[in-house]
Amino acid sequence: MVLLREPPMHISEGVLSPPVLAAGWALAAGALSVGLKKTPVEKLPETALVSAALFLASLVHVPLGPSSIHLTLLGLAGMLLGWSAFPALFIALFLQGLLFQFGGLLSLGVNTAVMGIAALAGYYVFRVFRTPGRLRFVGAFCAGFAAVIGGTVLVCAALFFSDMELKAAAALLFAANLPLAAVEGIITAFITAFLARIMPRYVS
């Protein structure tokens, strides 16, 4: 299983079928177009900062069975950037693929689409709870949790539609990411609480 040599959110080269790769690039291109239009000049510094955080966070891998897991911060990225998370993720994933061979350049479209949609899911989940008080932190946990679960489901779908024999790998990746989803939810909630004190405009 080629995929299991890399973290689950970074699909490597030679795993996905050409139709899935093409669909991923089409989705990524459309989402990037929308994301860039929704990223005004004054928002570029925070977009670049989040992109750098995404780049660094996923460099730390924790071995788990035949694969490994890593923080994604997708829920937090979605909460802070909304649609602008797509260009932030594209840059981070491109540099990871180019410099460290995490994921592949051919699969960059799928990886961007998967992680961008997951971040956007976190954004909309958080908006449901976007009120002052404790409920906001519940929303932040749900955003972090939903982003990881959503991204994992999309990765599993990409594997399933590429090769039916990858069903076992997809099931393993989903199971491996369940504890990560809970950890991401907790971390997202704590970061939200911190931001609520020092920069409340980002989480209000």
The DSSP code sequence of 137-152 is: HHHHHHHHHHHHHHHH
> How far does CA 59 lie from the centroid of its chain?
13
pLDDT over 50 (residue 144): yes
Pairing, β 67-70 against β 61-64 = antiparallel
pLDDT at 110: 93
Mean pLDDT confidence for 5-18: 70
Q: What is the C-alpha to C-alpha distance for residues 5 and 12, in angstroms, rounded to an integer?
A: 8
What percent of the chain has a predicted confidence (pLDDT) above 70? 84
pLDDT at 142: 93
Q: Six-digit token pair at 97?
A: 């693929």
Residue 124's SS3 state is helix
pLDDT at 1: 39
| Domains, the chain, ordered by start | 13-202 (1.10.1760.20)
Which residue type sits at 89? Answer: L
Cβ atoms of 77 and 118 within 8 Å: the answer is no
Report residue 5's pLDDT band, with 50, 70 and 90 as the boundaries.
very low
Report residue 116's pLDDT band, with 50, 70 and 90 as the boundaries.
very high
Q: Torsions phi, psi of 68, nearest 5?
A: -155, 160
pLDDT over 90 (residue 47): yes
